Amino acid sequence: MERRKFIYNTAITAAASTLPLKGKWPSSQNEKLKVAIIGTGMRGQGHLDLLLRRDDCEVAAICDINEKMINRSKEIVKKHNATNPVIYDKGPEDYLRLLEKEDIDAVIIATPWRWHVPMAIASLKKNVYTGLEVSGAGSLDECWELVRASQASDGHLYFLENVCFRRDVMAVLNMVRQDMFGEIIHMECGYQHDLRGVKFNDGITPYNSGVEFGEKGYSEASWRTEHSVHRNGDLYPTHGIGPVSQYVNINRGNRITHLTSMASKSRGLHNYIVDHEKGGADHPNAKVEFALGDKVTTMLRTASGETIVLHHDTNLPRPYSLAFRVQGTKGIWMRDNQSIHIEGISASHRWEDAQPYLDKYDHPLWKKYEKRAVGAGHGGMDFFLIHSFVEHAKAGKNPPFDAYDAATWMAITPLSEMSIQKGSSSISMPDFTEGKWMDSKVTFALDDSY
């Protein structure tokens, strides 16, 4: 216990003193942080709203290829009585013109997954503080390209993994750091969300049944379902692996060494189309063969000896759950049954309700900003993400989730595909840090600043 506390305290001191400073702001002449948003769909609009709630940010430009989404964004700008951003809507490459013409300090990229890496690289080349929405990678090469672009840039890559800021996830981080669970041995996490209907209803656009996707789909249905047609792996690993990486300091004294994945058969999406009132056995999409197994399970091991089970489960009827479980030599937390057991405190062999613990160990950041987070997306955690992004960009500071984290977490997608193709063979995780993980220090949520 003392050793853990020593490492943690040393990390705080080191983090405060060794951060390299790069990035444009506050050296830029702009009074406010000038931000551009590339991709103002449903997620980008959420970010737009949160940025415009602040008095230290100006959204100087937005870029999208969809007129409806641009119009919805303009409504948000109007609601806030904010300065009109310059609009870039001249096609899929128009973001390059935005990056060329606009004097911006930071950019947020919230486009479909295939655009993430090329857009982030283009932004980093302009030395802009770059916020990148979450996804899995298309290939391992993409992950390396992202790392190289970040290394060559005077900007930074901030990987926008909002679940790291979830209130219970942060309370458990607080407990882990106070040694409540002892030495961490095993964790579980994942993305378990029934996406068959990729439900969307804004009251203007007709309800999206999910039976139609691709060109006939709206928002995520227009691009996300295609991935399930062609790919069999963990398509969306970061909401699970991001938070648990904080519990065992991945890329900061620890690293993921290898993984193995297994996929079940694929039934959910096909059955949904056939059984839906807007589909049926004769619907053209009933002929689509989906590559994605309904349940993809990945097991990962770390250099420090912890194991992680990562779930991907998006095609079957089920309530939402990110499946968190944290287990150490002294106790266990399981989110799905809201339970905790701490040796020496809980009655022997008995579960306790986790909530009193989550309240007691509420992270200082949440205590400080709880009121400002009211109304922000995903139970308030999106406020913390944007707050952290803006404050790091203003200070030109290394983000808590950087290009090495993005590459490691996103690489799980192509690595899990490889493993499944090879009959669940063990596949090595590249060391994207090239050894730097051994000396890198923890910086995430060490205090209540941001």
Ligand X SMILES: NC(=O)c1ccc[n+]([C@@H]2O[C@H](COP(=O)([O-])OP(=O)(O)OC[C@H]3O[C@@H](n4cnc5c(N)ncnc54)[C@H](O)[C@@H]3O)[C@@H](O)[C@H]2O)c1
Which one of 39-47, 183-191, 296-304, 440-448 is the stretch in contact with ligand X (CB under 6 A)? 39-47
The dihedral sign for the CA sequence 11, 14, 16, 22: negative
For ligand X, the closer CB: 180 or 195: 195
Nearer to ligand X, 332 or 373 (CB): 373
Concatenate the DSSP letters of all residues of 247-266 into one string: HTTBTTTB-EEEEEEEE---
Select the residue interacting with ligand X from 25, 95, 357, 384 (CB under 6 A).
Answer: 95
Q: Distance (Å, rounded) from C-alpha 154 to C-alpha 24?
A: 8
Q: Which is nearer to ligand X, 65 or 77 (CB)?
A: 65
Nearer to ligand X by C-beta: 41 or 85? Answer: 41
> Which residue of this chain has its Cβ atom nearest to ligand X in the complex?
41
24-44 in b/e burial notation, b at 16+ Cβ within 10 A? bbeeeeeebbbbbbbbbbbbb
Q: Which of 23, 39, 190, 400 binds ligand X (CB under 6 A)?
A: 39
Answer yes or no: are the C-beta atoms of 291 and 268 closer than 8 Å.
no
Based on CB atoms, which residue is closest to ligand X, 238 or 440? 238
Instruction: Enumerate residues 40-79 that contact ligand X by CB under 6 A.
Output: 40-44, 63-66, 69
Q: For ligand X, which is the closer residue by CB, 135 or 245?
A: 135
Number of amino acids touching ligand X (CB under 6 A) = 26
Q: Between 62 and 184, name the residue whose CB sits nearer to ligand X.
A: 62
Find the shortest distance in angstroms from Cβ 211 to ligand X: 17
Using CB under 6 A, pick the residue from 50, 60, 106, 110 that binds ligand X.
Answer: 110
φ/ψ of residue 230, rounded to 5: -110, -15
Given candidates 25, 52, 98, 111, which one binds ligand X under the rule CB under 6 A?
111
Q: How buried is residue 9: exposed, middle or buried, by Cβ count under 10 Å (0-12/13-18/19+)?
A: exposed
Helix 381-395 / helix 42-52 crossing angle, nearest 10 deg:
70
Kindly state whether residue 266 participates in binding ligand X, applying the rule CB under 6 A.
no
Stretch that binds ligand X, among 130-138, 264-272, 332-340, 394-402 (CB under 6 A): 130-138
Closest to ligand X by CB, 57 vs 69, is: 69
In the list 11, 15, 37, 38, the residue contacting ligand X (rule: CB under 6 A) is: 38
Cis peptide bond prior to 26, omega within 30° of 0: yes
Alpha-carbon distance of 142 to 238, in angstroms, equals 16
**Which residues 381-440 are close enough to bind ligand X by CB under 6 A?**
none
* Three-state SS at 298: strand
**Burial tier of 284 (Cβ tally within 10 Å: 0-12, 13-18, 19+):** exposed
Among 25, 115, 191, 383, binds ligand X (CB under 6 A): 115
Q: How far apart are CA 439 and CA 216, in angstroms?
A: 49
Q: Binding ligand X by CB under 6 A: which of 4, 77, 112, 316?
A: 112
Nearest approach, Cβ of residue 133 and ligand X (Å): 4
DSSP string covering 188-227: EEEEE---TT-----SSSPP--SSS-GGG--GGGGTHHHH
Phi, psi of 319 (to 5 degrees): -75, 160
Residue 115 CB, shortest distance to ligand X, in Å, is 5
CA 52 centroid distance within chain: 22
Sheet holding 106-109, edge to edge: 86-88, 57-63, 33-38, 106-109, 129-132, 157-159
Considering only residues 353 through 382, tell me which ones interact with ligand X, judged by CB under 6 A: 378
Cβ neighbours around 244 below 10 Å, total: 30
Please select the residue that binds ligand X; options are 220, 234, 405, 417, rule is CB under 6 A: 220
Give the x-and-dash track for 132-161 against ligand X (CB under 6 A). Answer: -xxx--------------------------
Nearer to ligand X, 72 or 341 (CB): 72
Write phi, then psi, for 308 (nearest 5 degrees): -135, 130
Positions in the binding site for ligand X (CB under 6 A): 38-44, 63-66, 69, 92, 95, 110-113, 115, 133-135, 162, 219-220, 378
